[in-house]
Structure 1
């Protein structure tokens, strides 16, 4: 159980579920060729999960002091798992994840794509050791890394199977993945700011320079509010252009009920949020928005087939 807490298995399960969903509730149901066999796609998921798990481990190692203040019950290092053991776990997870990525890059005959896995693992290390202490930069890096887990599906499953005959069709599917990656980026960026507000005491004691430390909790919340309003408007426009105008009313209702309405709730509640408990609640709301947003790909697929 200590190990599962160390790698934050709930987040890893959500990551794996997201990648399974995009392939088997979307791409597999389209009449398009895919580059990876099912077991190879499973390896892609495994590689992504292992590298992400390594990122959580190194983050936990570096955050022991601040977590003892912010989340004392969640601290694992030194309470069941030694720091040395944690480093060994980190190295093992990273090497295995990157090795699988290298193998898959050769499978699709794009060996240079292995750099993606090395880059992600490196970014996660530098995030934990340095970047997270830099105002906003750390937030952007984490949001980008989550978005990359969506884009990488297209890179490994769509791009290698693209040819002159299906280029336009494959580009449209890649574009959809990119749209979801942008959605994941925006929601996670907002959530990272909220988490920084929630953890401001421990971060301050560790000498970090997060957004709430630099400009104060209230102003940081206003930044998150601005990003949320911007995201809300973009999602409204997106729903109108791609769902309403194409008669996809099931997914339109779903988007309003499970993505836009909760986001509007977040916008309203953040204005009055003050306590650590308030911001923790808002962080959970954003996590649910992200989950339901990703689930919408299955609803879109169902709606298209229903209308056909």
Structure 2
């Protein structure tokens, strides 16, 4: 149980769910729209997805390894390393998970004759290490790195699925007889951008929650440099990068997906932004972080609505 908490099993489940829904709801239906062969069948997708999960798990381990002192201040009752799991065991697990991830992704890359695809996993592994050891303590950079890595969860499937490349030069809406389908490149682009912006917002809120321990360890996060109120205003500003496209989608997209986008995503996110500055306490920011995660999961869930509406 301690190991599951260390690797944030619930977050890993969200990573798996994201890639699974993208594969099932966006990639698989494309087989009927092109004669281009697809690489990510069930086996290859499982290998790439497992590789992503293992890299994320290793990232959580190394993050806690470098955050032992900070966690002792911010959340002493929840700290696992040095209390339940030995540091040496954690480093070994981190290394093993990364090696396994590279082997699994490498098997898919080599089967396609594209060994350089493996740089996606190598880049993620190295970036996670330097994020944990250095970047997360820097102003803005750490938050952007995590947002980038989250967006890469979706973008990885674009790299490993050559069948998608056919649609890069296609129009926003595809037509085949009486059937119509949104270009998957646009769909994946929208979800990738949504994941980036909301993750960036949530990472800043987590810094607001942890600012006391971060300050004690010499971190220069946004809440420490700008203060809590100015940081909250910055979050409200960048939230427009998600809210404005959602409002447009709510109006432009017809049917159940438009209704879902407005009532399940647009309204809750707008309410979240308005409530963010209501209090300035650790408990408040912790709740706001959790609420934002719920909105993010709801965004992922919209892929199911997209699938049934597109294939009705």
RMSD: 1.8
Among 110, 131, 154, the residue aligned to 2:114: 110
Q: How does 1:79-98 map to 2 (within 5 A)?
A: 79-98=83-102
Report the more deviating stretch, 295-304 or 166-175: 166-175
1:5 is aligned to 5
Unaligned runs of 5+ in 1: none
Please state if 1:47 is matched with 2:46: no
Q: How does 1:143-154 map to 2 (within 5 A)?
A: 143-154=147-158
Once the two structures are TM-superposed, the CA of residue 26 in structure 1 deviates from its matched residue by: 2.7
Measure, in 2, the Cα distance between the counterparts of 1:35 and 1:56.
30
Please state if 1:281 is matched with 2:287: yes
Give yes or no for contact 2:158–2:164 (8 Å, CA) kept in 1. no
Please state if 1:175 is matched with 2:186: yes
Please state if 1:297 is matched with 2:303: yes
1:66 is aligned to 70
Please give the TM-score of this superposition, normalised by the length of structure 2. Answer: 0.91
Unaligned runs of 5+ in 2: 175-180
Once the two structures are TM-superposed, the CA of residue 171 in structure 1 deviates from its matched residue by: 10
Measure, in 2, the Cα distance between the counterparts of 1:91 and 1:171.
41
Can you list the C-alpha shifts for 1:33-58, whole angstroms capped at 9, x where unaligned?
42122011001100000001000000
Once the two structures are TM-superposed, the CA of residue 216 in structure 1 deviates from its matched residue by: 0.7
Please state if 1:123 is matched with 2:134: no
Q: How does 1:258-273 map to 2 (within 5 A)?
A: 258-273=264-279
Give yes or no for contact 2:151–2:196 (8 Å, CA) kept in 1. yes
Report the more deviating stretch, 94-103 or 46-55: 94-103
2:178 is aligned to none
Measure, in 2, the Cα distance between the counterparts of 1:294 and 1:92.
30
1:35 is aligned to 39
Give 3-state SS (helix, strand or coil) of 1:207's partner: coil
Give 1 or 2: higher helix fraction.
Answer: 1
2:227 is aligned to 216
Measure, in 1, the Cα distance between the counterparts of 2:265 and 2:113.
39
Give yes or no for contact 1:108–1:160 (8 Å, CA) kept in 2. no
Give yes or no for contact 1:139–1:189 (8 Å, CA) kept in 2. yes
Measure, in 1, the Cα distance between the counterparts of 2:12 and 2:115.
26
Measure, in 2, the Cα distance between the counterparts of 1:166 and 1:138.
31
Please give the TM-score of this superposition, normalised by the length of structure 1. Answer: 0.92
Once the two structures are TM-superposed, the CA of residue 223 in structure 1 deviates from its matched residue by: 0.6
1:228 is aligned to 239
Once the two structures are TM-superposed, the CA of residue 10 in structure 1 deviates from its matched residue by: 0.6
Write out the 4+ residue segments of structure 1 that deviate beyond 2 Å after TM superposition: 159-163, 165-172, 238-241
Once the two structures are TM-superposed, the CA of residue 240 in structure 1 deviates from its matched residue by: 2.8
